[in-house]
Structure 1
Amino acid sequence: MRLGTTATTLLAATFALVGISAPTAGADGTPACKVDYTVNDWGAGFTASVTIGNLGGSPINGWRLTYSYAGNQTLQQGWNGTWSQSGQAVTVAGLPWNATVPPSGSVTTGANFAYSGSNAEPTDFAVNGSPCNGTAPPPPPDGPAPALQVSGNHFVDADGKTVTLHGVNRSGAEFACVQGNGIFDGPVDAASVAAIKSWHANAVRVPLNEDCWLALSDVKPQYAGATYQKAIKDYVNLLHQNGLAAIVELHWTHGQYTGNSAGCSDVNATCQKPMPDAQYAPTFWSQVATAFKGDDSTVFDLFNEPYPDRATANGWTCLRDGGTCPGITYSVAGTQSLVNAVRAAGADNVIMVGGLAYTNDLSQWLTYAPTDPRHNLAASWHSYNFNTCSSSSCWDSQIAPVAAQVPLVAGEIGENDCGHSYVDGLMSWLDRHAASYLAWTWNTWDCSTGPALITSYDGTPTAFGAGIRAHFASF
């Protein structure tokens, strides 16, 4: 996703999302929880004790329990929750001090009721609108991260088994270092990776900064060069240890650009530029390729979101061939030169190559794809609800022909309304075309200012993230 320096600084702050997030989902879309209901009955009335148990790996936040009686049971008073009744339907919501049910934890609430006649036990318990039937989600897949290679229009692992990537972006390493705030935004420890894995993800995309990797003079030494490189390699290794493939990508680059849609006027790598620069980008990719060659569980995404079409009439030629592109005031590294740099370093890793319009336009991707002697290229595509190509008719005409020829990786998907209606339809379309996709982004930003999946690094989803997580749980 393209973010300017000011916008990124704002988004990098941690905000709390006010509202109710969806419960942890099982593979069939139901919440991973159970309800234990017991009564102390004295004939004309009874005390109901209700315990909600969380069977999932993430907290249930803002729980709201509903169920119905079959007789004339009438609520008298409740405790440890806000109780109400409408006809035979009963609702109880958590209080501020017990609104969260932690993984493997429980919360108990109760109430007194009056009744006459029969007192059958209710069976239709639901939490936050979904049945709470005691079904636990299957564990995320274990084992090593898949070693990926291209076979036709899909990825295969070392055993020749087809692999489709479903994952998240972990933003931070593209901006924190150049802003002097560290290397990552938020934790990158084992617990945070386990939370990603609990969503049934099998891949994480890691944006990088050219100046930080190469230790250029604009970056504080403690966040640059060997220190930065080791931090990235350690994180990638941690992902692999948890069975997750990694996509490392060049996000912010050097080169001064002040033309149409400029993100900043700075020559340094402090924002998204229309194209990678010929001065440093080939060296960056030569070094990254050297660092990760032999690790086929790491994919190389050459450049985040090219937009040379905003500066020059020959956007596709500029994208592939680089050099002097009218409207861009620095010498450009085309995708062919970056593929050459990776292969010259001896790396045979899968390489992702984008298109125009912030890689939302793949209309001429097949014509202008660089040549790869290893025949190991995938198409990089980004799709948001505010993009030009954001309808199924556009996807059918522009994207499907590419997906029929090479692996398609939607490296960023999202929407800017904190909902998931757009990505729900998009993911279904991508599934039908056997494409891979990764949601933007696994950061605790305010999702009303940009797509953010979580409110906590324990995996608690935003409303947007709840849709992504529920879809991943179906695999």
Structure 2
Amino acid sequence: MGLVLPGCEALAVPRAGGQRTPQDVAAVSAVPWVQVSGNQLVNDAGKPIRLLGVDRSGTEYACAEGWGIFDGPADQASVNAIAAWGANAVRIPLNEDCWLGINGVNPAFSGAPYRQAIEAYVQELAQDHLEAILDLHWSAPGGIKAMGQAPMPDEDHSPAFWASVADTFKDQPNVLFDLFNEPEGVGWSCWLDGCTVPAQGALPAYRAAGMQQLVDVVRQAGATQPIVLGGIDWAGNLSGWLAAEPSDPLHQLVADIHVYDFSACASTTCWDDEILPVAERVPVVADEVGQAVAGSPSACPSTSFAQGFFAWAAAHDVSWLAWAWDTWGCPYGLVANAAGSPTPWGSAVRSALLGAPQPALGTSS
């Protein structure tokens, strides 16, 4: 059944080239477009589906740096370009200070303007039947402006951030919540229940919010959508994920691992030993996949590593998103321009996406 968001009937549009059907304008469903069923993600017709797409970086840093909200265009044409690659999901990195409008972020790019821009972008994604994965990417405790990645979410602001985000999007069916980008420097006990994080760089020691606390915050806000939880060690380690899995009354948790050629789990052996046992119990998404050339950060690397992971993920029903839909050039920029012309890295990703046909999102067909 097609989904119509309250007050946004125009969102019930078909994919490019399709025709609107009576199902496309049916009443809104309380069921998100993607749900967890056992160890699979399924669409609203109950068909297994993988989330495949790109990360759209910019909304974590432009606002804090004081020059915008998105890094590049964020209109419907830009979303159409992503959909044209065959993607069905886009991950949106967020900044908690920008969302909450705190710690001296330029008010033109924070608070209500920031929140409204993110809401509008999520609705644009819905028009192309794309899932939005909302990710807490940059954060900082106390009165420190969030200007980068912290080791863990902070109790000062992260619970308030997720309470607000979950309340804002609880009726938006094309959303998943990625609670924290890359936990690092902590063990699984801290990951689950929080702890005092030692001082690091410009950050003082602070009390971290654990994943159980943030899961509870999202559910208390009334949001029922799936929740994505990255492992420790820069989200590159899932070895203790099952033992530390938070309690979710709705059983809608997804494990997340970031896969780069320089990360700890960067071989088929590790994927078989560490990712596969988790994927046999809960859905797994690798919501950052990329590769670089050690010692040459501006070089265009071979794409063989990522292509190998894409093939492995397809064989084991693992979802993935590539870093990143931005015009950065090599090694991580997927596109050369706003129209979506691919870089060498982007060409490999586009080919993988277009070669992975699967059931549609938001339709029972």
Query: TM-score interval w.r.t. the shorter chain?
Result: 0.7 to 0.9
Q: 1:148 & 1:286 partners in 2: Cα distance?
A: 21
Deviation at 1:371, TM superposition (A): 0.7
Q: 2:269 & 2:317 partners in 1: Cα distance?
A: 18
Gaps of 5+ in 2: 1-14, 25-30, 294-299, 357-365
Deviation at 1:447, TM superposition (A): 1.1
Richer in helix (by share): 2
Q: Cα distance 1:361–1:229, how it changes in 2: closer, same or farther (>3 A)? A: same
Does structure 1 residue 305 correspond to structure 2 residue 182?
A: yes
1:238 corresponds to: 124
Q: 1:435 & 1:153 partners in 2: Cα distance?
A: 10
Kindly, what percent of the aligned residue pairs are identical? 47
Aligned residue among 152, 161, 183 for 1:275: 152
Does structure 1 residue 251 correspond to structure 2 residue 142?
A: no
Q: 1:430 & 1:146 partners in 2: Cα distance?
A: 24
1:324 corresponds to: 196
Gaps of 5+ in 1: 1-137, 257-265, 310-314
Aligned residue among 231, 235, 239 for 1:355: 231
Aligned residue among 103, 115, 119 for 1:217: 103
Richer in strand (by share): 1
* 1:415–1:422 contact (8 Å) kept in structure 2: yes
- Three-state SS of the structure 2 residue aligned to 1:358 is helix
Deviation sequence 1:340-372 (CA, Å, 0-9, x none): 100010111100011111111000100011111
Alignment map for 1:142-161 (pairs within 5 Å)? 147-161=33-47
Q: 1:332 & 1:271 partners in 2: Cα distance?
A: 16
- Three-state SS of the structure 2 residue aligned to 1:184 is coil
TM-score, normalization: structure 1? 0.65
1:100 corresponds to: none
Alignment map for 1:379-398 (pairs within 5 Å)? 379-398=255-274
Aligned residue among 407, 410, 413 for 2:283: 407
Q: 2:252 & 2:307 partners in 1: Cα distance?
A: 29
TM-score, normalization: structure 2? 0.85
* 2:182–2:232 contact (8 Å) kept in structure 1: yes
Q: 1:141 & 1:428 partners in 2: Cα distance?
A: 29
* 2:96–2:161 contact (8 Å) kept in structure 1: yes
1:437 corresponds to: 320
* 1:140–1:200 contact (8 Å) kept in structure 2: no
Instruction: Name the amino acid aligned to 1:320.
Output: L
Deviation sequence 1:398-457 (CA, Å, 0-9, x none): 111001110101000011143311110000011111011000000000214xx1111111
Q: 1:139 & 1:216 partners in 2: Cα distance?
A: 40
2:297 corresponds to: none
Query: What count of residue pairs does the alignment treat as equivalent?
Result: 322
Alignment map for 1:51-130 (pairs within 5 Å)? none
Q: 1:296 & 1:379 partners in 2: Cα distance?
A: 20
Q: 1:390 & 1:176 partners in 2: Cα distance?
A: 31
Instruction: Name the amino acid aligned to 1:469.
Output: R
Cα RMSD after superposing both structures: 1.9
Aligned residue among 338, 344, 351 for 1:457: 338
Q: Cα distance 1:164–1:463, how it changes in 2: closer, same or farther (>3 A)? A: same
* 2:256–2:287 contact (8 Å) kept in structure 1: yes
Deviation at 1:141, TM superposition (A): 8.1
1:185 corresponds to: 71
Instruction: Name the amino acid aligned to 1:209.
Output: N
Q: Report which of the two structures shows the higher radius of gyration computed on alpha carbons.
A: 1
1:57 corresponds to: none
Name which structure has the greater RCO, CA cutoff 8 Å, separation 6+: 2
* 1:149–1:296 contact (8 Å) kept in structure 2: no
Q: 1:222 & 1:307 partners in 2: Cα distance?
A: 32
